[in-house]
Amino acid sequence: MEFPAADDLEALIDRPTYPSVASVRYEPETETLEDPLATTRTELEQLPLSGLDAGATIAVGVGSRGIHDIDEIVAETVAFLDGRGFDPVLVPAMGSHGGATPAGQLEILETLGITEERIGVPIDARMEADPVSEVEVGGTTASVYVARAALEADAVMAINRVKPHTNFTGRLESGLCKMLTVGLGKQRGAQAFHSTALAEGYVPTLEAMIEAVRESVSLLGGLALVENFYEETGVVEAVPGESLEEREPALLEVAREEMATLPFEDLDLLVVDELGKEISGAGMDTNVIGRYRVLNAPDPETPAIDLIYARGLTEGTKGNGNGIGLADITRRAAIEQLDLQKTYANALTSGSLAKAKLPPVAPTDELALRVALNALGGDDPETVRLAWIENTTDLAEFRVSEALLESLPDEATVLERERLAFDEGTATFEPLERFP
């Protein structure tokens, strides 16, 4: 597909006066765990390991998210289990991610620092998943799948972050329950879950399916991680399998209080440098941008953002651009990074089709911003409420237009006033000579 060149679009939209901006450091108070690895060792003692024989195989489910020090925590968990005389094996528990292929899922784990050489145990990345039960959720009968690699093990556990989900709000969202039912179900299980959840609700589907998983394997439970505003580890807690549904809601509330968000309730334009699956399951955290774009799930009330410009994909997402449809405009550089097979495998499995749609594609930053400002009605540069972020997890530093400076909280410090410039159409920032 060919997109219009800059020369084709230049005459269609007048060049605006771009707002000046300020780079900002935002440092809200948050909780940080001093020694996550020591806590990991202590917490793992809480899992029901005493009933397992020496040499028992333990399938450890690990996922595709960019979790702080996830490679270190996985390595510590494996070392603990090995030291207790067990035989751990890592199993990618990420549904359809990585194009729903073993090679793709291994590639994602490698970007997270998780390899057989690094961790010292096998990774069983087979995509086969077997039906273990059928559950009734509302008026729907759903099949529950579990990865064959997990079914062949003597026991199963998971390591995952507990956080607000990108498609819905409820007592159970992203965490151990979801990894064990959706991620460990591989592509077939993820598809069965999402099709049921879209019809009957995510939480009832999670609750029904985790019970079926519990009955099909020896479920030790998992290691729940909660991150703070700075994407550092705030909580490490081992949750026994029998307590998952009871404990996760409290951890979710901690995560909701600690998660990274922008200190604004409404914006005219949000510019996002990069989106990716290791940033969020939706490419951009929907709780940060205020958009779910999911059937039967209303968008969050705040923040209200009129337009989003997504500039590109992360290296770690390996071409999976799921979430680009949450933006209102993108640029050709982002399209050139897309791997549609991986993007479609993810979107078709989850049923969140809107996240894979292509927004209008501009050839350059300059044209993209010109289009966005025109669509906002040619906003006065002194009044346009613009924020510019690297991605939706790294929010300790960002840029804002002048109109937002008065709205900054006490925890924010202005670092430098800048003007927006362009180098052959690519956005750059130059210091202003004066600092008022």
| Domains along the sequence of the chain with CATH | 6-28+263-430 (no CATH), 36-258 (3.40.50.11440)
Which pLDDT score, from 0 to 100, does residue 433 have? 67
Those residues with Cβ within 8 angstroms of residue 95's Cβ, 6 or more apart along the chain or in another chain:
182, 183, 185, 186, 187, 189, 190, 349, 350
Tens of pLDDT along 74-127?
A: 999 999 999 999 999 999 999 998 899 999 999 999 999 999 999 999 999 999
Tens of pLDDT along 164-206?
A: 988 888 999 999 999 999 999 999 999 999 999 989 999 999 9
Q: Judge whether residue 296 has pLDDT over 80.
A: no
Confidence of residue 435 (pLDDT cuts 50, 70, 90): very low
CA distance 411 to 85: 48
What secondary structure does DSSP assign to 60-126, as a single string? EEE-SS--TTHHHHHHHHHHHHHHTT-EEEEEE--TTTGGGSHHHHHHHHHHTT--HHHHSS-B---
Which pLDDT score, from 0 to 100, does residue 136 have? 97
Tens of pLDDT along 16-26?
A: 999 999 999 99
Mean pLDDT estimate for the chain = 94
Confidence of residue 363 (pLDDT cuts 50, 70, 90): very high
Q: What is the mean pLDDT of residues 269-288?
A: 93
Q: At what angle do helices 186-200 and 340-350 cross, to 10 degrees?
A: 50
**Cα 218 to the center of its chain, rounded Å:** 28
Cβ–Cβ under 8 Å, residues 223 and 159: yes
Backbone phi, psi, residue 423, to 5°: -110, 100
